[in-house]
């Protein structure tokens, strides 16, 4: 598929998806979000892709959020349609049975922060900043910001960020659990590749079960999450990779996983 608002590259079992509207800080419109969904579907369905990376073009922004020009003419129905459309890629990122990494350079605001938060791992450059400034333009976060941010940084800090529209630095975001790792801008891709190298050495089928189990923990009470974990744990033993992993450990050699 040909994309106009994103870049899609597959290399060494990794799908690199770049939000590509740098002239407007990679702001999100219907076209970009639809293309992002298509790219995620393409990467999800490709068995050669083991890790997905989402980043933004240019040095200024990962994504500064929604294109505010759209807001001027919207009715409530238009806004609800936008929310439904945009939530699909955010939700799909969580559903994809493969690790998704956000490589954040520059601003990650509003919908940009929400895309990053949907990813499994966030690695940011020192010049990155995060925030949910939607209240400044007369709306609330509409793609998970009111739901996910509090789960990551706690209720009080999430309310502070959303009510005040303040931004936090990558350093503070890391300290508060929003970001996994912060590195100098010129080391950002190198840091992402280091994480990818560790992930691709693992079993894809076991990785899938691990992601499903963790996601389930955020959606159900602890007792149900523990039950689900036991079920996912049991499913591991129906895979060839589980036997290979155990055998390789006992034989003191590197495992040769097949994803089965």
Out of 91, 95, 114, 244, pick the active-site residue. 114
Active site residue 134: yes
Out of 48, 91, 134, 155, pick the active-site residue. 134
Structural tokens at position 158: 């999430």
Q: Which residue has the tokens 């589980």?
A: 242
Name the DSSP class of 136: G
**Structural contact between residues 16 and 165, judged by C-beta atoms closer than 8 angstroms:** no
Q: In what order do the strands lie in the sheet with 181-183?
A: 6-11, 14-19, 51-56, 100-104, 121-125, 181-183
Longest dimension (CA), the chain: 66
**Structural contact between residues 109 and 169, judged by C-beta atoms closer than 8 angstroms:** no
**Structural contact between residues 20 and 14, judged by C-beta atoms closer than 8 angstroms:** no
**Cα–Cα distance, 132 to 127 (Å, whole number):** 17
* Angle in degrees, CA 148, 154, 159, rounded to 5: 80
Active site residue 231: no
Q: Any idea which residues carry the catalytic annotation?
A: 114, 134
């Amino acid at each position: 598929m040909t994309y106009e608002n994103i870049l899609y590259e597959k290399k060494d079992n990794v799908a690199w998806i770049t939000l590509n509207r740098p002239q407007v800080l990679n702001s999100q419109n219907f076209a970009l979000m639809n293309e992002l969904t298509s790219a995620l579907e393409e990467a999800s369905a490709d068995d050669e892709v083991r890790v997905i990376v989402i980043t933004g073009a240019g040095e200024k922004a990962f994504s500064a959020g929604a294109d505010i020009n759209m807001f001027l003419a919207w009715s409530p129905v238009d806004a609800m349609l936008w929310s439904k459309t945009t939530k699909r890629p955010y939700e799909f990122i969580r559903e994809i049975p493969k690790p998704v990494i956000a490589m954040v350079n520059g601003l990650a605001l509003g919908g940009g922060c929400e895309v990053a938060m949907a990813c499994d791992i966030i690695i940011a450059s020192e010049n990155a900043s995060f925030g949910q400034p939607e209240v400044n333009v007369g709306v609330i976060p509409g793609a998970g910001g009111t739901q996910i941010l509090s789960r990551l940084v706690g209720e009080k800090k999430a309310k502070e960020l959303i009510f005040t529209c303040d931004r936090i630095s990558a350093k503070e975001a890391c300290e508060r659990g929003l970001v996994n790792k912060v590195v100098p801008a010129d080391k950002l891709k190198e840091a992402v590749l280091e994480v990818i190298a560790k992930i691709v050495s693992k079993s894809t089928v076991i990785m899938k079960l691990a992601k499903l189990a963790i996601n389930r923990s955020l959606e159900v009470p602890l007792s149900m999450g523990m039950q689900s974990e036991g079920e996912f744990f049991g499913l591991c033993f129906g895979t060839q990779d589980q036997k290979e992993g155990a055998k390789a450990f006992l034989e003191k050699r590197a495992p040769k996983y097949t994803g089965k």
